[in-house]
């Protein structure tokens, strides 16, 4: 999510003759202050460490950092968790944030700060963008932001505001939805965002993960429900076949989605009055789609025959996909694996089938199998099918 960008300011009524980069002075000052508070995001701690250090030594300004390390844009990834929580509540406009409505938002405070400064010294800024990019002005902004941060930290600790914190709302929903998984023997992680259960065969691991959307605010909290199924024995088998130590051993993964064909992943709204209905819908969807899926795939023989006959498309979870290819080759018969491959091939659109045929043709011509390179999604699984002796289905016509 972009909080702010220079090009949002430098168009339209932007003052003529003023460098476009002046539209980012206020952004750079906020970033310089946030980084001084230890709020730098991981991307900058890892990839922009030298520039961060130069900024802390005041060898470059926040604006220069914005231009050189952020492509002139202020994104959520620029900050850590606390930094984003503060920016969501304060950097946004007052109409969007309860905190900003009560205490003020950043750009409003910034304008007021320099209007008062100019008035006290007998002059007037032609526009907000005429504020000079100096460390003296940064010190004025820093004092203002220090005060707002202290107010925000106290504000969010109030019981009423704490319950509206996006993370708190998300974790509450996780706990309420997780009850249906706990009843089936799933165990949660510390925060209740990831639930795991080992199948009766001690080989397969079922995982249900609740994922918060990146752009949540106090009034708009959204989440998805993801599922992963992996095999402990499959991972070393794949590593031996491919020589790739990063094989994951997944049998299937997907997300809860509408049951209609080609339906998108469901994004549930869980803020405010939407919570109860969304929790109920998630619990019902888990019961209707995920628990039967776990029961099916927990029985290896049933799973192999079902996948061979019907493929890996599961209503409410995922479209037909090639992920179980390795599982079929590792545990199933050659005939079952071939049927699965033919079903997957038939489910693909014409251009995709063409890609699969080209992969087979290249490998049949003697091209070396490079497991860590794929020209299209799932090509490494197509290579695995070839390497294990599966035959390309006859092409009776493309659509």
Alpha-carbon span 139 to 165, nearest angstrom: 30
- Beta-carbon contacts of 197 under 8 Å, excluding residues fewer than 6 positions away, are 181, 184, 185, 186, 187, 205, 206, 294
* DSSP conformation class of 153: H
The model's pLDDT over 238-263, given as tens digits with 9 standing for 90+, comes to 999 998 877 889 999 999 999 876 57
Residue 271 and residue 220 in contact, taking contact as beta carbons nearer than 8 Å: yes
Residue 345 and residue 356 in contact, taking contact as beta carbons nearer than 8 Å: yes
Radius of gyration over every alpha carbon of the chain, rounded to an integer in angstroms: 27
Residue 285 and residue 316 in contact, taking contact as beta carbons nearer than 8 Å: yes
For residue 83, what pLDDT is reported? 95
- Residue 399 Cα to chain centre, angstroms: 34
| Segments of the chain scoring below 70 in pLDDT | 93-96, 261-262, 395-399
- Beta-carbon contacts of 369 under 8 Å, excluding residues fewer than 6 positions away, are 363, 383, 386, 387
Residue 173 and residue 179 in contact, taking contact as beta carbons nearer than 8 Å: no
DSSP percent split of the chain into helix, strand, coil, nearest 5: 55, 10, 35
pTM for the whole structure: 0.75
Strand ranges in the chain using DSSP code E only, listed in sequence order: 2-5, 73-75, 187-188, 194-198, 204-212, 222-231, 250-255, 268-269
- Across 218-254, b (16+ Cβ under 10 Å) vs e yields bebbbbbbbbbbbbeebbebbeebbeeeebebbbbbb
Q: Which two tokens stand for residue 315?
A: 């209503």
For residue 244, what pLDDT is reported? 82
Residue 328 and residue 336 in contact, taking contact as beta carbons nearer than 8 Å: yes
**φ, ψ dihedrals at 180, nearest 5°:** -70, -30
Distances in Å between the Cα of 333 and the Cα atoms of 204, 344, 347, 393 are 19, 17, 21, 17
For residue 93, what pLDDT is reported? 66
Task: Find where tokens 């701690």 sit.
Answer: 45
- Beta-carbon contacts of 210 under 8 Å, excluding residues fewer than 6 positions away, are 170, 173, 174, 177, 178, 192, 193, 194, 223, 224, 225, 226
Nearest Cα residue to 82 out of 142, 45, 146, 38 = 38
For residue 398, what pLDDT is reported? 46
Which residues on neighbouring strands pair with residue 225, listed in sequence order?
210
Nearest Cα residue to 116 out of 144, 155, 75 = 144
For residue 95, what pLDDT is reported? 64
CA angle 141, 145, 150 (to 5 degrees): 155
Nearest Cα residue to 34 out of 152, 115, 125 = 152
* DSSP conformation class of 130: G
Q: Which two tokens stand for residue 21?
A: 């980069």
Which residues on neighbouring strands pair with residue 230, listed in sequence order?
205, 250
360-364, Cβ contacts within 8 angstroms, sequence gap of 24 or more? 360/386, 360/392, 363/387
């Amino acid at each position: 999510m972009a909080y702010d960008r220079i090009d949002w300011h430098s168009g339209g009524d932007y003052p003529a003759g003023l460098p476009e980069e002046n539209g980012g002075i206020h952004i750079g000052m906020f970033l310089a202050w946030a980084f001084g508070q230890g709020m730098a995001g991981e991307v900058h701690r890892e990839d922009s460490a030298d520039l961060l250090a130069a900024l802390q030594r005041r060898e470059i300004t926040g604006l220069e950092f914005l231009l050189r390390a952020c492509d002139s844009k202020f994104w959520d990834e620029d900050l850590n968790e606390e930094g984003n929580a503060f920016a969501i509540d304060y950097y946004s406009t007052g109409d969007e944030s309860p905190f900003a409505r009560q205490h003020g938002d950043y750009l409003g405070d910034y304008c007021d700060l320099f209007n008062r400064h100019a008035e006290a010294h007998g002059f007037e800024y032609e526009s907000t963008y005429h504020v000079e990019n100096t460390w003296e002005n940064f010190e004025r902004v820093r004092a203002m932001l220090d005060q707002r941060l202290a107010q925000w930290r106290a504000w969010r600790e109030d019981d009423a505001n704490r319950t509206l914190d996006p993370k708190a709302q998300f974790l509450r929903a996780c706990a309420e939805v997780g009850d249906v998984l706990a009843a089936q023997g799933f165990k949660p992680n510390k925060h209740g965002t990831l639930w795991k259960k080992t199948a009766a065969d001690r080989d397969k691991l079922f995982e249900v993960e609740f994922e918060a959307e990146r752009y949540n605010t106090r009034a708009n909290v959204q989440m998805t429900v993801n599922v992963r199924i992996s095999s402990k024995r499959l991972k070393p088998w794949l590593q031996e076949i491919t020589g790739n130590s990063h094989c994951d051993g997944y049998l299937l993964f997907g997300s809860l989605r509408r049951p209609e064909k080609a339906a998108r992943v469901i994004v549930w709204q869980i803020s405010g009055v939407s919570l109860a209905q969304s929790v109920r819908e998630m619990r019902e969807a888990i019961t209707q789609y995920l628990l039967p899926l776990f029961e099916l795939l927990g029985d290896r023989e049933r799973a192999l025959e079902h996948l061979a006959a019907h493929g890996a498309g599961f209503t409410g979870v995922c479209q037909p996909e090639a992920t179980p290819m390795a599982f079929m080759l590792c545990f199933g018969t050659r005939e079952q694996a071939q049927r699965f491959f033919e079903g997957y091939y038939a489910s693909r659109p014409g251009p995709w089938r063409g890609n699969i045929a080209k992969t087979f043709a290249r490998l049949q011509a003697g091209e070396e199998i490079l497991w860590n390179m794929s020209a299209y999604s799932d090509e490494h699984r197509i290579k695995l099918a070839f390497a294990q002796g599966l035959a390309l289905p006859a092409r009776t016509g493309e659509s």
